[in-house]
Chain A
Amino acid sequence: MDTLNGQSKICVNNVTKCFSSKQGEVTALKDLSLDIRDGEFLVVVGASGCGKTTLINMIAGFDTPSSGKVLLDGKPVTGITPECGMIFQQYALFPWKTVQENVEFGLKMKRIPKSERKAIAAKFIDLVALNGFEKSYPHHLSGGMKQRVSIARALANDPEVMLLDEPFAALDAMTRQVLQEQLVRIYEKHKKTIIFITHSIDEALLLSSRIAVMTARPGRIAQEIVNDLPHPRNADVQLSDNYMTLKRKIWDSVQAEVLKSMEVETG
């Protein structure tokens, strides 16, 4: 496909993934191909159960394709790859570690000395505006704060790619908006390649540089849309004709897939 603007960072090549379940063999993804360019903010939109998480799990190396290949910098992904920092919807913070210890985790695993770890952690805690909470344990924090810790933890490990699996789905609307803005700022500042999964079209339009719409199960890419809306994507942008046109375009294709998946469920 079009790899004109920069090289391909991640290449998902004809990937099929089957699971065996009680109802027999389930095909989650079927011949899915997707190219993610270096420095791109790709948002994958799809109805629930379309295999979005399966896709991101295979990029992270948590899961292996039944057939096909996932390439990172041209090399096949064979195991869990710390180069792809993952951010989970359920935060996945270590409850027995303080905010600071959570953020330091990846650095500790790299056997970086304590004083250095502390300095790096402080920088990223500052980035997500959690100063003063360094010594707090996760259960004292709100959902939004937890997700900010999780973002800082991933960033402190300096991954080349960040994978976000519906990271803001469990947050209230106000917090979500704040975190979305923060994420865009982090993206602009740190120039990471980002793959972001969501079922919210608005979220996709606000964040992405490109959007991939997934089909109902078995998941494939139905449509890829370049999102060239101007930044910052404030209320004016969200009311522009351009925004509405894009939204309609995505909605039409998502809606068709949602209806299809409902037919599968009832039929």
Chain B
Amino acid sequence: MDKENHSSKPIIISIISLTLFLGIWELVCRGGLIDPVFMPAPSKIFARAVKLIGNGELMAHTLASTRRVMVGFMISSMVAIPFGIFLGSSRLFMAICDPFISLLRPLPSMSWIPLSLLWLGITETQKYSIVFMGSFAPSLLYIIEATKSIDPLLIRAARNLGASKLDVMREVILPGALPQIISGLKVMLGIAWTCIISAELVAAREGLGFMIMNGKEYFQTDTVMLGMVMISITVMVIDVVFKKFERRLLPWTR
């Protein structure tokens, strides 16, 4: 009985606080205290959502952005994981690549937008490249760090059992660093979303960033805010999916 109270109370409080917030917002807008172009009422945003869901636009924009994030992020991770493990295990290789990583890392993904538009035009490839450039260097650093956190004793044990250096990377360093790599990639996924929304705000024909920018052009503040809410919800949903996936990948941590 006591336990149940403990687990359900915070959720109830959260629901109450959210409802209260929306209620006050609604009342303030209805009372004419705020210009609806400046800040639309929640009910207006909801009505816009219903309309855009009905004509399929909201889903199309959300899927477009999600697809771009996923493709760019997958490519970036698939290159960064082996590359990072290799860099983390070889001092020579690290010394060769270090200056380039150090130069790339501080560059915000947005600074790549002009160049990517010149090279690739307003295409899907350009969107993927922005996500890639924004998340690759930081992912790489996470993975190199994760690689270095492996207990050297495990590497010794593996070598003693006949593992080659390549075997060690595949059988010891990769699985040993995986929990850290995954938590790093979770942060990177958030960064990938920042990248894609920025890219879509600058130049796109679909996607949540485009929807927000387009809404602003027509003074549809409700569309703008709906786009923002949609980004939040999408990232939250992906986070939950990612967590499920994480547990599947790391059965020994259960």
Contacts and interface: CB of A to CB of B under 8 A. Distances in A.
B161 A88 contact: no
A80 B154 contact: no
Nearest to B163: A109
Given A96-B178, A105-B161, A153-B161, A62 B167 contact: no
Interface string A85-116: 11010101011110000000110111000000
B167 A109 contact: yes
B229 interface: no
B153 interface: yes
Contacts of A123: none
Interface residues of A, number: 26
A96 B160 contact: no
A82 B252 contact: no
B243 interface: no
A97 B176 CA distance: 10
A82 B161 contact: yes
B153 A96 contact: no
Interface residues of B, number: 21
Given A137-B252, A157-B161, A62 B153 contact: no
B164 to A, nearest CB: 8
Interface string B179-195: 00000000000000000
Contact of B160 (A84, A108, A137, A139): A84
A157 B175 CA distance: 22
B178 to A, nearest CB: 7
Contacts of B158: 94, 105, 109
Contacts of A206: none
Contact of A92 (B153, B163, B167, B250): B153
B157 to A, nearest CB: 4
Contacts of B154: 92, 94
A110 B160 contact: no
B197 interface: no
Contacts of A92: 151, 153-154, 156-157
B97 to A, nearest CB: 27
A96 B162 CA distance: 19
B159 interface: yes
Interface in A19-40: none
B171 interface: yes
A106 B252 CA distance: 20
A70 to B, nearest CB: 15
Nearest to A81: B160
Contacts of A96: 175-176, 178, 250, 252
A90 B161 contact: no
B41 interface: no
Contacts of B159: 80
Contact of B161 (A62, A109, A138): A109
B213 interface: no
Contacts of B251: 137
- Interface-central residue, B151, B154, B158, B252, by most chain A CB under 10 Å: B252
B252 A86 contact: no
A90 B156 CA distance: 12
B172 interface: yes
Contacts of B250: 96
B160 A82 contact: yes
Given A92-B153, A94-B175, A80 B160 contact: yes
B166 to A, nearest CB: 11
A84 B160 CA distance: 7
Interface string A189-226: 00000000000000000000000000000000000000
Nearest to A92: B157
A139 B163 CA distance: 23
A62 B178 CA distance: 26
Given A92-B153, A95-B252, A96-B252, A106 B162 contact: yes
A4 to B, nearest CB: 31
A121 B68 CA distance: 46
5 contacts: A85-B161, A94-B176, A96-B175, A105-B161, A137-B252
Given A88-B157, A96-B175, A109-B167, 4 more contacts: A88-B153, A94-B154, A94-B157, A94-B175
* Top-7 shortest CB links A-B: A106-B161, A92-B157, A82-B162, A109-B162, A96-B175, A137-B252, A80-B159
Interface of A: 60, 62, 80-82, 84-86, 88, 90, 92, 94-97, 105-106, 108-110, 137-139, 153-154, 157
